[in-house]
Amino acid sequence: MIPDPLRQHLRSCQNIVVFTGAGMSAESGIPTFRDRFEGMWALYDPQDVASLDAFRHHPQTVWDWHVQLADKIRQVAPNAGHAAVARLESLVPNVTVITQNIDNLHQAAGSRTVLELHGNIFRLKAFVDADELFAGDHSPIICRICDGYAVADECGTYATKDDLAAIVLKAGPIPRCPGCGARLRPDIVWFGEPLDIYVLESAMRAADTCDALICIGSSLEVQPAASLPVRAKWGGAKIIEINPEPTSLSFHADVFLQGKAAELLPQLIQAVWQSTNY
Ligand SMILES: [Zn+2]
């Protein structure tokens, strides 16, 4: 499965990045992004339910769509692949998970350091309509509850961050920040939105400094996420790819394992870190 020199290298790694995409969660039953717009989701064009503009014009429709998606995700559990990623933390000093998934399944499986490039559907944040906010007479401030831009005289005095944390994504009217009154939205990256710069920089730093990167279930078609394995390679890291089909990375990978993460990842860990045959 793994050539012996690479196996020795992996066993000596101090820093490993595990980079995961939709294929990782597909085996738990989470539809891949494309699938979400088929079947029951085919009623909507993605731009109509997952963009700033959609929320601006049809906030309740957008909210309701995310509630349905979140309810679907709540019904699934991490698979053997997620469990294997979490187990890696007991075998390697530093493991950083970088994921394109918004489903919280890595954390549910026990992974502690997870950089979510596209956010997390179960976390909420304030909807900031910058165009509207900066066009008004008020000077915006940062709301001390939601950390979003707010208009000073609307910020509640008695609200706490705990009040905000208690609000969850569920059916009903769109909730508001208890501090500034801004409408809340899922903390995920919608169409046309940039990635969170702090998360992206942390991911780039992890990729630049890792000894090995294991790429799992990502088609590597979405930038800038797709560049992370390449950065790791430039930095001298070994690249292991697990995917059902070859990708643009496969040619550059030190090992390409073709198949499902839930089957191959436990085998990889067994072969490298838990085998006594060395
Ligand atoms: Zn607020």
- Encode pLDDT of 85-126 as tens digits: 999 999 999 999 999 999 999 999 999 999 999 999 999 999
The two structure tokens encoding residue 85: 């990623």
CA 116 to ligand 1 center in whole angstroms: 22
Q: In this structure, are 136 and 101 located in the same domain? A: no
pLDDT of residue 221: 83
* Cα-based distances in Å from 7 to 10, 116, 134, 259: 5, 28, 55, 19
Q: In this structure, are 198 and 247 located in the same domain? A: yes
- Encode pLDDT of 230-240 as tens digits: 999 999 999 99
Q: Which structural domain range is residue 141 located in?
A: 128-182
pLDDT of residue 17: 98
Within a domain: residue 169? Answer: yes
Q: In this structure, are 95 and 209 located in the same domain? A: yes
Q: In this structure, are 209 and 136 located in the same domain? A: no
CA 154 to ligand 1 center in whole angstroms: 9
Q: In this structure, are 92 and 136 located in the same domain? A: no
Mark the residues whose beta carbon lies below 5 A from ion ligand 1: 126, 143, 145-146, 177, 179-180
User: Is pLDDT of 2 > 80?
Assistant: yes
Over the chain, what HEC string results? CCCHHHHHHHHHCCEEEEEECHHHHHCCCCCCHHHHCCHHHHHCCHHHHCEHHHHHHCHHHHHHHHHHHHHHHHCCCCCHHHHHHHHHCCCCCEEEEEECCCCCHHHHHCCCCEEECCEEEEEEEECCCHHHHHHCCCCEEECCCCCCEEEHHHCCCCCCHHHHHCCCCCCCCCCECCCCCCEEEEEECCECCCCCHHHHHHHHHHHHHCCEEEEECCCCCCCCCCHHHHHHHHCCCEEEEEECCCCCCHHHCCEEEECCHHHHHHHHHHHHCCCCCC
User: Has 57 been annotated as catalytic?
Assistant: no
Q: In this structure, are 175 and 217 located in the same domain? A: no
> How confident is the model over 225-254, as a mean pLDDT?
94
CA 130 to ligand 1 center in whole angstroms: 14
What's the structural domain count of the chain? Answer: 2
> How confident is the model over 137-149, as a mean pLDDT?
81
CA 157 to ligand 1 center in whole angstroms: 11
pLDDT band at 278 (very low <50, low <70, confident <90, very high): very low
Q: In this structure, are 107 and 167 located in the same domain? A: no
Rounded distance between C-alpha atoms, residue 156 and residue 154, angstroms: 6
Within a domain: residue 155? Answer: yes
Rounded distance between C-alpha atoms, residue 145 and residue 157, angstroms: 10
Within a domain: residue 214? Answer: yes
Q: In this structure, are 260 and 178 located in the same domain? A: no
Q: What is the CATH number of the domain that holds 239?
A: 3.40.50.1220
pLDDT of residue 152: 59
Within a domain: residue 48? Answer: no
> How confident is the model over 43-72, as a mean pLDDT?
88
pLDDT band at 35 (very low <50, low <70, confident <90, very high): low
pLDDT band at 32 (very low <50, low <70, confident <90, very high): low
What mean pLDDT value characterizes the chain? 89
Q: In this structure, are 112 and 85 located in the same domain? A: yes
pLDDT of residue 240: 97
pLDDT of residue 222: 81
Q: In this structure, are 106 and 147 located in the same domain? A: no
Among candidate residues 182, 204, 228, the one where a domain is terminated:
182
Q: Of 19, 25, 115, which Cα lies nearest the Cα of 73?
A: 25
Q: In this structure, are 156 and 226 located in the same domain? A: no
Of the residues 66, 118, 138, 252, only one is catalytic, namely 118
pLDDT of residue 40: 46
CA 176 to ligand 1 center in whole angstroms: 8
User: Is pLDDT of 137 > 50?
Assistant: yes
> How confident is the model over 73-77, as a mean pLDDT?
92
User: Is pLDDT of 83 > 70?
Assistant: yes
Q: In this structure, are 227 and 94 located in the same domain? A: yes
- Encode pLDDT of 170-227 as tens digits: 999 999 998 888 899 999 999 889 999 999 999 999 999 999 999 999 888 888 888 9
